[in-house]
Structure 1
Amino acid sequence: MARKKLFTADYEVHASIKMLYPYIQTASGLAEWFADDVKINNQSKVFTFYWDNEEHKARLIAHRTNHFARFEFLPENGADEKDPSYFELRLEFNELTQSVFLKVIDYSDFDDMKELDDLWHGLVEALRKTVGG
């Protein structure tokens, strides 16, 4: 069984935090850059992320407006129940450089850290194109 690993990275994005926040916290915003499609069940508040025709369900377990959103994937097996995968997207402002950063925290059983880094880099590039930053 693969052990889960924590991946973190910071990406500068030339856009305001207020403008970026909907892209990290809403289904429609996430669908524009993060996944092929994202749906939300408004009753259960479960987000369904679609990648390559596979669905992955997650719940928004914590968020603070204009700061961060953390999604925890619903368990797919017993090990996941004890140690769920999650990702957090955090918006940070650097006072000194007046720059906005998207901090990515990804806790999953993804094996290849270089591939995961490339994946997030590509996703953030898509976000930058979407927001023009």
Structure 2
Amino acid sequence: MSKKVQYEIEYPVRCSPGILYEFLSTPAGLQEWFADKVDLKDNVFSFSWNGSVEEAEVLEQEEDEFIRLHWLHAPKEEYFEFRIQISEVTNETILVVKDFADKREVKDQSQLWDYQIKDLFHRIGN
């Protein structure tokens, strides 16, 4: 079994960090773009897609800055993270997605994130 590698994708966003954070860290926000149904109980999100349920534990979060989650079925060292940064040069809000994938699947996984983030941007009017 090949070891997964961490990769990172950046997306410029025309949205305040506060509004963006709501879409990244709350069941109602995530349900708008990430999954068909989202619940949160005892710091564990339950994401439903077409009847399939996956759970992810919140490892760390800081309001308006980032949220890091760990899929319960994945190895301990793997996580995915949504981080909000402000460009010092342009003062633009940037969403940084960090995730893990097999080396040969990084491109496909990145395209999946592109699709998901495009839906997020549609929801926030970006």
Fold shared, TM-score > 0.5 on shorter chain: yes
Within the candidate set 101, 116, 127, 2:120 is matched to: 127
Name the structure 2 match of 1:92. Answer: 85
Runs (5+) with no aligned partner, structure 2: none
Kindly report the root-mean-square deviation, in angstroms, between the aligned alpha carbons of the 2 structures.
1.7
Between the aligned partners of 2:44 and 2:70, the Cα distance in structure 1 is 10
Asked whether 1:37 is paired with 2:30, we answer no
Q: Is the 8 A contact 1:36 1:52 kept in 2?
A: yes
Q: 1:84 to 1:36 in 2, by over 3 A?
A: farther
Between the aligned partners of 2:56 and 2:102, the Cα distance in structure 1 is 15
For 1:64, give the aligned amino acid. E
Q: 1:1-133 alignment to 2 at 5 Å? A: 1-41=1-41, 44-75=42-73, 80=75, 83-109=76-102, 111-133=104-126
1:97 CA displacement: 1.0
TM-score (norm 2): 0.90
TM-score (norm 1): 0.85
Residues paired across the two proteins, number = 126
